[in-house]
Amino acid sequence: MFVVAGPTTSGKTQLAIELAKKSKGVIINADSQQIYKGLSILSSQPNEIDIKKIPHKLFNFLEFNKRFSVEKWFLLTEKEIFNVIKKKQTPIIVGGTGMYLKALLNGLDVFPRVPLFVRKKAIQLMKNIGTKKFYKNLKNKNDSCVYNINPNDKNRLIRSWEIHKITNKSIYELRKKNKKRRINNLNFFKILILPPKQKVYLNCNQRWKAMLQLGAINEVKKIMDKEKNSKNKNVLNTIGFNELKQYLEKKNNLEIASQNAIQATKKYAKRQHTWFKHQFLPNIIFKIEYKKNRKKKFLKEISDNLLTI
């Protein structure tokens, strides 16, 4: 089976589709934002034409106000992989979410279940005292609770707090015990597409313009309308959503919203580039340099070569 990975706008989705066409492939999503309904444009989900040609799994199935986790993704992906293999087809995992790929390839960290009331308590505490003080208090409890966590990363800080609350240990300490759940008896052929950063940044500009033309603003407006009628809080972190929401609320003009979204996308791409460079060990890596009018042909050539390995 294949794992096709790389930063945003690198061309991994197109390569996965080319591979799927030639190997009876089924594409399984490994992008944390492409799981959400109503965000097909902003999260760059596969288009309807490709979905009709190639089976796609774990895309566009979750409501905007539903929380998701690495564990849930891992368990669903495990099930989909074996369903595909049972049908004598080829699983092709494609995405750029490092936490998902790390769990798939290295095993899922097994932690105790956290009761909902504990999570709500952590969220309320952060809301009351602010992120900086929350970080400081957590560090004072156990220095390793904030190991390798950015002081502004609310989600990871809350996760660290709740695990410490129910175990009296940090995530770092629990991981050292190396208790993991793995998908056994599978061979992953890992493909990394890692274009030069400047190429990725240029692609970010072009993709944003294309998103606006395709109707990203209307997509955000529809979700905002749903928010008004929902009791549950929106949990979306999709880049571009909040920027366009501020535009629709007349807090910014479209030019500023676009600049903010493009800048956020580039920062995300930079973090991905660093993660893949240091934490993803591919069987093969493509540092793609192609002219725009040769992109499709180039990806076909790559897929042909891969299937002969």
Q: Which pLDDT tens digits describe the chain residue by residue (309 residues)? A: 899 999 999 989 989 998 999 889 999 999 999 999 999 999 999 999 999 999 999 999 999 999 899 999 999 999 999 999 999 999 999 999 999 999 999 999 888 889 989 999 999 999 999 999 999 999 999 999 999 898 988 889 999 999 999 999 999 998 887 678 888 888 899 999 999 999 999 999 999 999 999 999 999 999 999 998 887 778 788 999 999 999 999 999 999 999 999 999 999 999 999 999 999 999 988 876 544 545 566 566 666 666 555
- Nearest CA to 298 out of 45, 3, 6, 18 is that of 18
Give dist(CA 80, CA 135) in Å, integer.
Answer: 38
- Residue located via tokens 């998701």: 68
Top CATH class, 116-178? mainly alpha
Output the pLDDT for position 103. 94
Beta pairing, strands 25-29 & 2-5: unpaired
Do 2-109+181-306 and 116-178 share a fold?
A: no
* Stated length of the chain: 309
Provide the token pair at 51.
Answer: 């979905």
Give dist(CA 56, CA 50) in Å, integer.
Answer: 9
SS (HEC) of 60-106: CCECCCCCCCHHHHHHHHHHHHHHHHHCCCEEEEEECCHHHHHHHHH
- Residue located via tokens 């089924």: 26
User: What does the domain layout of the chain look like in residue ranges?
Assistant: 2-109+181-306, 116-178
Output the pLDDT for position 302. 64
CATH superfamily of 2-109+181-306: P-loop containing nucleotide triphosphate hydrolases (3.40.50.300)
Q: Report if pTM > 0.85.
A: no
Give dist(CA 234, CA 247) in Å, integer.
Answer: 18
